[in-house]
Chains A and B, each alone.
Chain A
Amino acid sequence: MTLAALFAVLVGMCLLLVRALLGPTLYDRVLAVNSFGTKTVLLLGLLGFVMGRPDFLDIAILYTLINFVSTIAVLKFFRYRSFQVPLARRGDGISNGGDN
Chain B
Amino acid sequence: MAELFALLANVWDTVRFPLGGAACLSGAILCIIGTIGVLRFPDFYTRVHAASITDTSGAGLVVVGMVLMAPSWIVVVKLFCILGFLLLTSATASHALVNAAHTAGLQPKIGPMAKRGHDDEEEGAH
Give a binary string over A36-65; 1 marks a CB under 8 Å from any B CB, 0 the rest: 001101100110010000100110110011
Q: Which residues of A contact B78 (CB under 8 A)?
A: 54, 57-58, 60-61
Given A9-B31, A25-B106, A45-B66, are A1 and B21 neighbors across the interface (CB < 8 Å)? yes
**B contact residues, total (Cβ < 8 Å):** 55
Residue contact A15 to B66, C-beta cutoff 8 Å:
no
Q: List residues of chain B with CB within 8 A of the CB of A35.
A: 34-35, 38, 51, 54-55
How far, in whole Å, are A47 and B100 apart by their CA atoms in the complex? 34
Contact for B32 among A6, A11, A78, CB less than 8 A: A11
Q: Are B69 and A2 in contact (CB under 8 A)?
A: yes
Q: With contacts A12-B54, A57-B75, A78-B126 known, is A5 near B24, CB below 8 A? A: yes
Interface of A is mostly: helix
Q: Distance (Å) between the CB of B47 and the closest chain A CB? A: 6
Whether A49 touches B69, Cβ cut-off 8 Å, given contacts A15-B39, A31-B48, A64-B89, is yes
Q: Determine whether the beta carbon of A67 is less than 8 Å from that of B89.
A: yes
Q: In the complex, what's the smallest C-beta–C-beta distance from B35 to chain A, in angstroms?
A: 4
Q: Is the CB of B97 within 8 A of A12?
A: no
Pick the residue among A5, A34, A68 that contacts B51 (CB under 8 A).
Answer: A34
**Chain B 56-82, CB within 8 Å of chain A: the 1/0 string?**
001100110110011110010011011
Q: Are A39 and B106 in contact (CB under 8 A)?
A: no
* Known contacts A2-B21, A2-B24; is-contact A24 B66 (Cβ 8 Å): no
Closest to B79 in A: A57
User: A-side interface residues toward B, CB under 8 Å?
Assistant: 1-2, 4-6, 8-9, 11-12, 15-16, 18-19, 24-28, 30-32, 34-35, 38-39, 41-42, 45-46, 49, 54, 57-58, 60-61, 64-65, 67-68, 71-72, 75, 78-79
- If A4-B28, A8-B32, A79-B104 are given as contacts, then 17 extra A-B residue pairs at C-beta distance below 8 Å, sorted by A number, are A1-B21, A1-B22, A5-B21, A8-B29, A15-B32, A27-B104, A31-B38, A31-B97, A38-B54, A38-B55, A41-B59, A42-B63, A54-B72, A57-B78, A71-B97, A75-B100, A78-B100
